[in-house]
Chains A and B, each alone.
Chain A
Amino acid sequence: MERFSFVFLVAGLFFFALAFLISGAIPMLAVKDLDVRTVEQLAQKPPFEFALLSEQYPDAYAKAFPGMSQTEAFAEALRTGHRTYIGEACWHCHSQQVRPWGNDEARYGRKSFPEEYHNELNMPPLWGTRRIGPDLIRRGGRQSNDWHVAHFYNPPDVNPGSVMPAYPWFYEADGLTPNKKGLSIITYVQWLGSWLPRGDETLYDLEALAADYRAPVLPAVPGAEVEQTDDGGEDDFWGEE
Chain B
Amino acid sequence: MTRNDSPLVHGAMVRWHLSTAMLWLCISLFAGLLYSLQLLQHWPLPKIEVLSPGRIRMIHTNLIAFGFLTNAFFAMLYWTVPRLTGVRVASRRLGWTILVAWNAIVLATYVGLHLGQAQAVEWGETPVWVDPLVVVGAILVWIQFYTPIVKTKERSLYVSLWYFSAGFVWLGLTYIMGNFIPQYLVAGNAAGPLLGLYIHDLVGLWVTPMGWGMMYFFVPIILRKPIWSHALSLVGFWGLAFFYPLQGVHHFLGSPIPMFAQYSAVISTIAIEIVVTTVIINFFMTWKGSEGSLKRSIPIRWFWVGALNYFITCLQCAFQVTLTFQQVIHFTDWVVGHAHLVMFGVFSFWIFGMIEHLWPKLTGREWWSLKLRSISFWTTAIGLSGMFLTLTAGGLLEGFMSLNLVPRETILEAMRPFWFVRTTMGFAIIAGVGCLATNMVMTVVASRAAHADFEYAPYEEQGEEASVGTI
Q: Are A127 and B58 in contact (CB under 8 A)?
A: no
Binds A, one of B220-228, B271-279, B329-337: B329-337
- Cβ contact of B38, chosen from A16, A86, A163, cutoff 8 A: A163
**CB-contact partner of B255 in A99, A106, A107, under 8 A:** A99
- For residue A163, which residue of chain B has the nearest CB? B39
CA–CA, A132 and B398, complex, Å: 10
**Which of A23, A114, A127, A128 neighbours the largest number of chain B CB atoms within 10 Å of its CB?**
A23
A57 at the interface (CB under 8 A from B): no
Tell me if B166 and A117 are in contact (CB < 8 A). Answer: no
Contact status A87-B117, CB under 8 Å? yes
Given A30-B258, A112-B256: A101 and B165 within 8 A (CB)? no
B278-300, CB under 8 A of A: which get 1 and which 0?
Answer: 00000000000000000000000
Interface string of A122-155 (1 = CB under 8 A from B): 1111111111111000000000000000000000
Cβ of B257 under 8 Å from chain A: yes
- Residues A113 and B256 in contact, CB atoms below 8 Å apart: yes
Taken residue by residue from 26 to 48, chain B's Cβ proximity to chain A (1 for < 8 Å, 0 otherwise) reads as: 00000000000011110100110
Q: Of B367-375, B406-414, B432-440, B461-469, which binds chain A?
A: B406-414
Chain B proximity mask over A1-43: 1 for CB below 8 Å, otherwise 0: 1011001101111011011101110111011101010000000
B192 with A125: CB separation less than 8 A: yes
Chain B residues 368 to 425 lying within 8 A of chain A, measured CB to CB, are: 402-405, 408-409, 412-413
**Closest Cβ–Cβ distance, residue B102 to chain A (whole Å):** 21
B412 CB contacts on chain A under 8 angstroms: 132, 161-163
If the complex has contacts A15-B245, A87-B117, A133-B408, are A123 and B191 also in contact, measured as CB distance less than 8 A? yes
Q: Establish whether residues B249 and A92, one from each chain, have CB atoms under 8 Å apart when the complex forms.
A: no
Q: Using CB atoms, name the residue of chain B closest to A87.
A: B116
Residues of B within 8 A of A177 (CB): none
Q: Is B261 touching A27 in the complex (CB atoms < 8 A)?
A: yes
B330/A99 in contact, CB under 8 A:
yes
- Would you call A89 and B118 a contact (CB within 8 A)? yes
Contact of B170 among A12, A119, A134 (CB under 8 A): A12
Contact of B57 among A27, A30, A92, A162 (CB under 8 A): A92
Given contacts A12-B165, A127-B252, A169-B49, contact A19 B197 (CB under 8 A): yes
| Among A24, A118, A124, residue most surrounded by chain B Cβ atoms (within 10 Å) | A124
Does A159 sit within 8 A of B, measured CB to CB? yes
Closest-CB distance, B404 to chain A (whole angstroms): 8
Cα distance A97–B195 in the bound complex, in angstroms? 14
Shortest Cβ gap from B419 to chain A (Å)? 8
* A42 and B392 alpha carbons, distance in the complex (Å): 41
Q: Does A84 count as interface, using CB distance less than 8 angstroms?
A: yes
CB of A91 within 8 Å of the partner chain: yes
Within the complex, the shortest CB–CB distance from A39 to chain B, in Å, comes to 12
Contact of A130 with B242 in the complex, beta carbons under 8 Å: no
Question: Chain A residue with minimal CB distance to B56?
Answer: A89
The verdict on A23 contacting B265 (CB below 8 Å), with A11-B166, A165-B43 known, is yes
Contact call A123/B183, Cβ cutoff below 8 A: yes
Q: Provide the residues of chain B in CB contact with A15, threshold 8 Å.
A: 241-242, 245
Q: Is A49's CB within 8 Å of the partner chain B?
A: no
Task: Please name the residue on chain B nearest to A133 by beta carbon.
Answer: B408
Do residues B58 and A89 form an inter-chain contact, with CB atoms below 8 A?
A: yes
B104 at interface, CB cutoff 8 A: no
CB distance from B117 to the nearest CB of A (A): 6
Chain B residues near A122: list those with CB within 8 A. Answer: 187-188, 191
Query: Which of B184, B188, B403 is A114 in contact with, Cβ under 8 Å?
Result: B188
- Which of A12, A97, A167 is in CB contact (< 8 Å) with B252? A97
**B186 located at the interface, meaning its Cβ lies under 8 Å from any Cβ of chain A in the complex:** yes
A212 vs B73: C-alpha distance when bound (angstroms): 55
* Interface membership of B120, Cβ < 8 A: yes
Which of A24, A30, A122 is packed against the most chain B CB atoms within 10 Å?
Answer: A24
Chain B residue nearest in CB terms to A114: B189
| Residues of B close to A16: CB separation below 8 A | 169-170, 173, 205, 245
A12-B166, A31-B189, A92-B58 known; A4 vs B150 contact (CB < 8 Å): yes
Say whether A127 contacts B255, CB under 8 Å. Answer: yes
B22 contacts partner chain A, Cβ-Cβ < 8 Å? no
Residues in B320-372 with C-beta less than 8 Å from chain A:
323, 326-328, 330-332, 335-336
CB-based contact A7/B166 at 8 Å: yes
- Distance of A125 Cα from B251 Cα, bound (Å): 13
Do residues B190 and A27 form an inter-chain contact, with CB atoms below 8 A? yes
Give complex CA distance A106, B117 in Å: 35
* B459 in contact (CB, < 8 A): no
Whether, in the assembled complex, B95 has its beta carbon less than 8 Å from a beta carbon of chain A, the answer is no
B134 part of interface (Cβ distance < 8 Å): no
Check: B237 CB closer than 8 A to any chain A CB. Answer: yes
Residues of B within 8 A of A23 (CB): 193, 196-197, 245-246, 248-249, 261, 264-265
Contacts of B403 in A (CB 8 A): 102-103
Contact status A129-B331, CB under 8 Å: yes
Instruction: Tell me the minimal C-beta distance from A140 to chain B in angstroms.
Output: 18
Contact between chains at B405 and A127 (CB < 8 Å): no
Inter-subunit contact A101/B186 (CB<8 Å): no
> B-side interface residues toward A, CB under 8 Å?
38-41, 43, 46-47, 49, 52-55, 57-58, 116-122, 125, 149-150, 152, 156-157, 161-162, 165-166, 168-170, 173, 177, 181-184, 186-197, 199, 205, 237-238, 241-242, 245-246, 248-249, 251-258, 260-261, 264-265, 323, 326-328, 330-332, 335-336, 402-405, 408-409, 412-413
Question: Would you list 30 pairs from A and B whose C-beta atoms are within 8 A, ordered by A residue?
Answer: A7-B162, A12-B165, A12-B166, A12-B169, A16-B170, A23-B196, A23-B264, A24-B193, A24-B194, A31-B188, A87-B116, A90-B54, A93-B54, A100-B254, A103-B404, A120-B187, A123-B182, A123-B186, A123-B187, A125-B189, A125-B191, A125-B195, A129-B122, A132-B39, A132-B412, A159-B409, A161-B413, A163-B39, A165-B38, A165-B53
Give the 10 A-B residue pairs with the shortest CB-CB distance, closest first.
A117-B188, A89-B54, A99-B254, A19-B245, A87-B116, A11-B241, A124-B182, A131-B331, A12-B169, A114-B189
The chain A residues found within 8 Å of chain B, CB to CB, are 1, 3-4, 7-8, 10-13, 15-16, 18-20, 22-24, 26-28, 30-32, 34, 36, 83-84, 86-93, 95, 97, 99-104, 106-107, 111-114, 116-120, 122-134, 156, 159, 161-163, 165-169
